[in-house]
Chain A
C-alpha cells in the first residue's frame, strides 16, 4: 500500500489523491490506545471516505506499529469517521521511547492514505 501518491492518474472519471486533499484529522491518546478523527472538508466528500477509508486500510498503514483491535465509528452529522486503534503507541506516552509518545503526529500519517474521488468533487477542496 503506498503511503503517498501524486495527484492525477485519472481513471474512469476519478482522481487518486492523498486523504490530505479532501479531509482533515486529529489524533488523541489514552494509554496505549489512539483515536484518530478523519473529517471531510465538504459534505459531498464524506461518502467516498466512508467507502474507502476502511479499518483494513488503516491496519495496513499502521502495520509497523502492530495494531491490535481497530474500530471505526461513522458520524454522518459531522461528516467524520473516528478510528480507535489499540496498541500502536509502543505502550503509551509514559512507556514509549518515541519522541512523540502521544501519537499526535499520526493524524498526518493517516492523511497519507490515498482515496479515489470523482473528478467533479475535487474543485474547491481545502
Chain B
C-alpha cells in the first residue's frame, strides 16, 4: 500500500492563466486516488484593488474568470473529494462563494460545502481602518486607499477543511498558505512544527505560480527546450507526513519538471534564502536539495523553518493618478533617426507637471531606465523597423490624454513615414506595505448556508 500521500495540484498561477489547465490536473488527482486538493492563485498585488474598484462600480468583486475556471472541474472535484482552495474571492469572497454555490447546484453537486475566509480586508471595519492608520506605510501613502489587505496564513483554511468544507474561498492570503492549509488539515501538523510548516510552505511556493515550475516561463530554445510548450501541464506536489515531497505535473501534458525548472521557481521572488517570511513560518531554503527521481518527477527535501513573525504584512493599494501611453512605428532607411527625432519632439510637448519616459522599441526599451540613460548610450544603434513609445504619468486624466494625444499628432506633424499609432489612457494604482501586530487581527472562516444543505 502506498504511504500516506497528499496531492496538491495547481489550477491557476495568476489572474488570466490558462482556463484549460485545471482539467488535466483534476484528472490526474482523481486517477491517483488518494486524498487531494487543487489550489487557484489568482491575486496579484494590484488585482485586489481592481476588484474593489469593479465592485464599487456595481460589478463583481471576485476573480472575473472564476466561473470559467471552475465550471469544467467543479462537479468532478466535489464528487471525488478533491478539495478546492482559491483566493479567487478577491474583494468579495462571500459573493464568490454564492456564485460557486450556484454553479454547484446547476451541476448537480449542490451538497458541496463552501467556506469563506475573512479577516484580510482592512477597509472592512472602522476598527481595522484605525489599526491601519496607526502604523507606518512604506512608501507613505500619497493617494486615497482603494484596497488594504493583510496576507493571512493557512490556519483559517485548515480549520474550514477540518469543519468539512469541500471548497474554501479566500481573499488575500499568503500564496503558499493555499497549499499549507490542506496539508495541515490532512496531516494534523502542529502550528509550531516549523520544519513541516516550512516544507508545506515551500511546496506551496513552488505551486503558486502554476506552470512556472513545470516548464512554463522557462523555454530558451537550444539552451532550455520544453516539450509541447503550447500545452504545458500544471504542477502537482505529492507530500508525505514527514514533509518530504515530489513535484510532478498533470498526466498527458506538455512541459517538463526537472531540477532546473524547480530551482528557478524555488528562488523566484525570494530575497534572503535563509529567511523567507510568511504568516505561518520563516522558511530557510539554504539546505534544500532537488533530485530527479523519475520522468517529470523532482524530489525536494531539506526545507527548514523558524517561528513565524509577530507581524502580518498588508498591501495597501491607493490611487496613483493616470497613465497615458502612445506608440508609433518608423521603418526603412534612417528609421532609428526618425524615431529619435519623434522622441525629441514629444519631449518638448509633454504637458506640464507630468513625468514621462520615451523608448525606442527595437533599439532599447525594457532594459532601459526611466531617465533614458541606456537609450542615450545606444546613440548609434540603427534598426530598420522600430517603434517609439511614450508613457506619461499625470495627476489627472486630461493631462494623461494630452500626453497620448501628442503621439497621435505625429501623424501630421512628426517625422516622415510614421505609422501604426496606438494610444491608451488608464488610472494607475500604487502600492505600499505595512506591518500589523498579529494579535490585533482575527482571521476566521464561515460556512456558506445554502438552500441545498
Give the B-binding residues of A (Cβ under 8 A).
20, 24-26, 28-31, 33, 35, 37, 39, 41, 64-66, 71, 73, 75, 77-80, 82, 84, 90-100, 105-106, 109, 126
Contact = CB atoms under 8 A, between A and B. Distances in A.
A94 B431 contact: yes
B191 interface: no
Interface string B412-453: 000000000000000011110100000000000000000000
A26 B260 contact: no
B269 A24 contact: no
The 8 tightest CB contacts between A and B, nearest first, are: A28-B269, A37-B267, A97-B357, A100-B366, A97-B391, A64-B373, A26-B264, A126-B223
Question: Of residues A25, A26, A39, A82, which shows the largest number of chain B Cβ atoms within 10 Å of its Cβ?
Answer: A26
A82 B223 CA distance: 20
A31 B431 contact: yes
Contacts of B377: 64
A24 to B, nearest CB: 6
Contacts of A78: 263, 266-267, 288-290
B359 A99 contact: yes
A93 B49 CA distance: 14
Contact of B302 (A77, A109, A126): A77
Contacts of A96: 370
Contacts of A37: 263-264, 267-268
B270 A28 contact: yes
Given A77-B289, A98-B370, A39 B263 contact: yes
B98 to A, nearest CB: 31
B368 A75 contact: no
A75 B260 contact: no
5 contacts: A37-B263, A39-B264, A65-B369, A71-B272, A75-B273
Contacts of B271: 30, 33, 35, 82, 84
Interface string B317-342: 00010010000000000000000000
B50 to A, nearest CB: 12
A69 B111 CA distance: 55
Nearest to B372: A64
Nearest to B430: A94
Interface of B: 45-46, 217, 220, 222-224, 260, 263-274, 285-290, 302, 320, 323, 355-357, 359, 361, 365-371, 373-374, 377, 389, 391-393, 428-431, 433
Contact of A73 (B222, B265, B273): B273
Given A64-B377, A84-B272, A98 B368 contact: yes
Contacts of B366: 98-100, 105-106
A79 B391 CA distance: 40
Contacts of A71: 272
A37 B217 CA distance: 14
Contacts of B265: 26
Nearest to B357: A97
A17 to B, nearest CB: 12
Chain B CB count within 10 A is highest, among A24, A71, A79, A92, for A24
Given A64-B369, A90-B370, A94-B428, 16 more contacts: A20-B223, A26-B217, A26-B267, A28-B270, A37-B264, A37-B268, A39-B260, A64-B368, A66-B369, A78-B263, A78-B288, A82-B271, A84-B271, A98-B357, A99-B366, A106-B366
A90 B369 CA distance: 7
B262 to A, nearest CB: 9
A109 B272 contact: no
B224 A94 contact: no
Contacts of A73: 272-274
A89 B391 CA distance: 15
Given A26-B217, A31-B433, A39-B263, A95 B320 contact: yes
A109 to B, nearest CB: 5
A24 B223 contact: yes
Contacts of B323: 97
Contacts of B290: 78
A111 B355 CA distance: 31
A95 B320 CA distance: 8
